[in-house]
Amino acid sequence: MTKEDLIKENIRLNGIICELKSELASNPPKTREDKIKLAILDEAPYSCWACDRNFNIIVWAGNCEKMYNISAKEAIGKNYLDLFVDEYERTQSEMDCLRIIDKNYRQVNFLAGDKKQNGGTVTVLTNCFRVYDEETKDYLQAEVGLDMGFDVDTLLSNYRTWHALMMEQVERNKKLLEYEKRDLVDQIKQHFKKEEDEICDAEKCNLRWAEESKEIGGDFAKKSREEVISRSDALKGELKKRKNSLLDQVSSATKLEDLDSIKDEVRGL
């Protein structure tokens, strides 16, 4: 299973946890099944907390203590914005919280970079939704979150490093491709120059023979000369067509692999 598959599976499980928590919040556990569901929530590797419209935490359960290094005693009654939300995300988080409570907005699979009590950071895939509190007769914001196991800043730094290395390799490949193309163009031109020279030498030789044929007959010599020139021009035309076809293929090549078949053809000339 790939990392992407694991993330998708975690998202699916996260959704199941959300629905279970929402159901249990509005229906306190009475049956054996309800109690087992709560036990599953307590053991699942998800943070599970809720706050009121004043942003004060009233539930701190699941994997919260381990994820944030903050005990329930330290968290209950505290403003969650001050407790673990990054300062750059607090204003938006405050607005989202009130939207969730007042308008039943659901925040699905949001990637947050939260703070730990020890000064570290944790990247959490969160789902936020509202639940009803029977005691206060008001709605709360509830959140379940999965620790993604990486730090966003480190991830971005690694990505930038990888991207820079990739771009360097791309530039090297471009330069190598241009070098290979120039070398192949030179080979093609040299080969066809040699063939063209051979055609021209043969043409000169045949034209001399045609001139010498004047003793046999002027008309015969004239016809022979015309045939030599026509045959020579046809060969040169065909040669030029083959050369230009190969040069066009080299020019349009975008990868080193594209040149392999052209090299094989040039070697077979």
Strands (E), the chain: 46-51, 57-62, 107-115, 121-133, 138-147
pLDDT score of 53 more than 90? yes
Give residues with Cβ within 8 angstroms of 116, minimum separation 6: 67, 68, 69, 70, 84, 122
The residue that leads in pLDDT, 253 or 202, is 253
Task: Indicate the residue among 130, 150, 170 that finishes a domain.
Answer: 150
Average pLDDT, integer, range 178-185: 87
Q: What is the pLDDT of residue 7?
A: 60
Average pLDDT, integer, range 171-183: 86
Same domain, 260 and 180: yes
Same domain, 78 and 143: yes
pTM for this predicted structure:
0.47
Which range, of 47-51, 88-92, 254-258, averages the lowest pLDDT? 254-258
Same domain, 23 and 145: yes
Same domain, 134 and 163: no
Task: Indicate the residue among 150, 165, 190 that finishes a domain.
Answer: 150
Most confidently modeled of 3-12, 104-113, 154-163, 199-208? 104-113
The structural domain count of the chain equals: 2
Percentage above 90 pLDDT, the chain: 26
The residue that leads in pLDDT, 154 or 60, is 60
The residue that leads in pLDDT, 167 or 48, is 48
Give residues with Cβ within 8 angstroms of 155, minimum separation 6: 123
Same domain, 132 and 242: no
Task: Indicate the residue among 150, 172, 192 that finishes a domain.
Answer: 150
State the residue range of the domain holding 68.
3-150
